[in-house]
Amino acid sequence: MDAKFQPSFIPKQSVMSTPQVISSRISLLSVIAVVIFIVTIGLVAAVFITKYVLKGDITTLNQNLVDAKASFELSTIAELTRVSAKLRIANSLISRHLATSKILEELEKSTYENITFSSLASKTSDSGQVSITLVGTAGSYNSLILQAGEFESVLFLKDPSFSSFSLGKNGDVSFTFSANIDPALVDYKKYITEQ
């Protein structure tokens, strides 16, 4: 038999194995993945903690609101609401009210003795312009002409106009007078503060 032939399958020499090199290098991608994972876990924890804290705050604030609402007296609030509405209405009425006594005072100062007025009507336009219409009687046409000249010189009367002349049985003259009034003259708030 051949000397090189080995009848046994068991090797006489040890089989040399090549040493395996274990890579201990950590890749950059795995480091980024770990950091993102840790940050995500931290954020999730922060969200749950914030949610818990906010729920507690909401509960506390709701309780404070219920306590504050209970401390209010509903009857007092209702009464104050009614008073507030009345004050708004009163303020609205005062702001639209005309100080007609001021008009009468100024007309008295500028009207001649033989001129009489039997009616006075005032009208306020949407723009706030106040106009008056007076029906009166003059002793004669001459008195009426003098009165027209006087009214032309009065500062609070704007665009004075005489119309509807008629001669009476006694020689007196009936007429209608109309003019716009300076709004500052008939401002009720201003009139009240002057008193």
Q: What does the block give as tokens for 135?
A: 């029906």
At residue 19, the pLDDT reads 60
What pLDDT, on the 0 to 100 scale, is given for residue 55? 94
The Cα 122–Cα 95 span in angstroms is 16
pLDDT of residue 20: 61
When pLDDT is cut at 50, 70 and 90, the band that residue 110 belongs to is: confident
Residue 95 identity (one-letter amino acid): S
What pLDDT, on the 0 to 100 scale, is given for residue 18?
61
Give the count of alpha carbons within 13 A of 31, CB side only.
4
pLDDT in tens, 113-166: 889 999 988 888 877 788 889 999 998 888 888 888 888 888 888 888 888 888
pLDDT of residue 10: 64
CATH number of residue 137's parent domain = 3.30.70.2830
- The Cα 111–Cα 146 span in angstroms is 10
pLDDT tens digits, residue range 164-187? Answer: 888 888 888 999 999 998 777 777
Structural domains counted in the chain: 1
Length of the chain: 195
User: How much is the pLDDT for 73?
Assistant: 79
**Amino acid sitting at position 154:** V
Residue 166 in domain: yes
Q: How many helices (H) and strands (E) does the chain have?
A: 5, 4
CA 81 centroid distance within chain: 18
Q: Which domain holds residue 181?
A: 98-194
Confidence of residue 192 (pLDDT cuts 50, 70, 90): confident
What confidence score (pLDDT) does residue 193 get? 75
- 148 occurs within a structural domain: yes
The answer to whether position 72 is within a domain reads no
- Domain membership flag for residue 137: yes
Note whether residue 75 is domain-resident.
no
Residue in the structure block whose two tokens are 């639209």: 96
Q: What is the pLDDT of residues 23-73, one digit of tens each?
A: 556 788 888 999 999 999 999 999 999 999 999 999 999 999 988 887 777
User: pLDDT tier at 14 (50, 70, 90 boundaries)?
Assistant: low
**For residue 157, which of 110, 97, 115 has the smallest C-alpha distance?**
110
pLDDT at 70: 79
Q: What is the 3-state secondary structure (H, E, C) of 124-166?
A: ECCCCCEEEEEEEEECCHHHHHHHHHHHHHCCCEEEEEEEEEE
Residue 158 lies in a domain: yes
Q: Which of 58-67, 69-78, 85-94 has the lowest mean pLDDT?
A: 69-78
Contact assessment for residue 195 and residue 99, using Cβ atoms and an 8 Å cutoff: no
Q: How far apart are CA 168 and CA 153, in angstroms?
A: 28
Q: Is 153 among the domain residues?
A: yes
